Amino acid sequence: MVAVKARRRLGMDYQPILEQIHAEIRPLLDQGRVADYIPELARVPGDKFSMAVRTVDGRSFAVGAADERFSIQSISKLFTLVIALQIAGDELWTRVGREPSGNPFNSLVQLEHENGKPRNPFINAGALVVTDVILSALDNAIETVRDLLRGLSGSADVDFDLGVARSEQETGHRNKAMAHFIKSFGNLKNDPDRVLHAYFHHCSLAMSCRELCEAALFLANDGFAPLSGDRIMTPKLVKYINSLLLTCGTYDAVGDFAYRVGLPGKSGVGGGILAVMPKRFAVCVWSPGLDDSGNSLAGTRALELFTTLTGESVF
């Protein structure tokens, strides 16, 4: 009992654990499949790996290319939601649900049965509606998401990868179909092409594991940004967002992710996964090879090892 208390007070040294994980996941790096439906993402080498941890008491740990930026893709949906909730509050939930979809992140089928109201903000359909909400309220909705991430991460040069945005603009027929379909139900207020343009830019933001940890730390820190001390959200909204991450953040693999990892988290098809342990830390992993649900294969395993080896998860 005394030993446990002492360890908690001093804070765990995560570095040897990250190094052990790095060694253990090496054989998995070539087992996933790099997203190739966005041609620009297909060019990223599949053997990249990095992982970073940032604690609320100010410590940082990392292995691999933790300062190398990658395409954050759907991880941006978390930050778009933060802005939309600040704009619309509970009104948002009249236009998008809060239930896991049980379907792939880019599926259209439920939308037909559910009259164009997406199941949750973390699947593509939901993020399109969320993007529509911020477009209606802000003159510069595209830059606002980037600027939030610049401020939270402390990296003033975080930016869009315009090659990735263009690549998706040219090939994103499924997202285009989805936006027009939602519009047909009246659940987009803006022109669908404008919504898509903003959405593709948000997905194209490039950040490193270290920067993403910094940006998400307010979710582990009762809503306060560690760098500025600013309150980003009330504890109540932080609870809501973390709950949504746990139940909807990793698409139709969300049950498996909760079972194995036990942390609220958000993945993207660039191979990043960002997760938080309330009151303790943010952790981010990047490995571009994906599993069948579009989540990083080695990344999920790395997070599973992390929570198992540290004994720290929300459960």
Binding residues for ligand GLN (CB under 6 A): 73-74, 105-106, 124, 168, 175, 203, 268-269, 294
Cβ–Cβ < 8 Å for 118, 267: no
Closer CB to ligand GLN, residue 116 or residue 268? Answer: 268
Q: In angstroms, give the least distance from the CB of 41 to ligand GLN.
A: 9
Closer CB to ligand GLN, residue 203 or residue 258? Answer: 203
Task: Kindly give the interhelix angle for 235-248 and 76-88, rounded to the nearest 10 degrees.
Answer: 140
Q: In angstroms, give the least distance from the CB of 106 to ligand GLN.
A: 5
Q: In angstroms, give the least distance from the CB of 17 to ligand GLN.
A: 27
End-to-end Cα, the chain, rounded Å:
19
Angstrom distance (rounded) from CA 267 to CA 287: 11
Tokens of 311: 């004994």
Closer CB to ligand GLN, residue 73 or residue 300? Answer: 73
Tokens of 41: 């993402």
Closer CB to ligand GLN, residue 61 or residue 181? Answer: 181
Tokens of 94: 């009249």
Closer CB to ligand GLN, residue 273 or residue 277? Answer: 273
Q: Number of C-alpha atoms within 13 angstroms, CB side, residue 255?
A: 6
Closer CB to ligand GLN, residue 158 or residue 269? Answer: 269
Q: Which residues, in sequence order, are CB contacts of 118 under 8 Å at separation 6+? A: 96, 97, 101, 110, 111, 125, 126, 128, 129, 182
Burial of 176 (0-12, 13-18, 19+ CB in 10 A): middle
Q: In angstroms, give the least distance from the CB of 8 to ligand GLN.
A: 35
What distances in angstroms separate CA 184 from CA 102, 167, 293, one per listed residue? 23, 26, 28
Long-range contacts of 110-118, Cβ-Cβ distance < 8 Å, separation of 24 or more = 111/178, 111/181, 111/182, 111/185, 112/181, 115/185, 116/181, 116/182, 116/184, 116/185, 116/186, 116/187, 117/185, 117/187, 118/182
Q: In angstroms, give the least distance from the CB of 268 to ligand GLN.
A: 4
Q: In angstroms, give the least distance from the CB of 108 to ligand GLN.
A: 12
Which residue in the shown chain puts its C-beta closest to ligand GLN?
74
Closer CB to ligand GLN, residue 106 or residue 107? Answer: 106
Q: In angstroms, give the least distance from the CB of 223 to ligand GLN.
A: 25
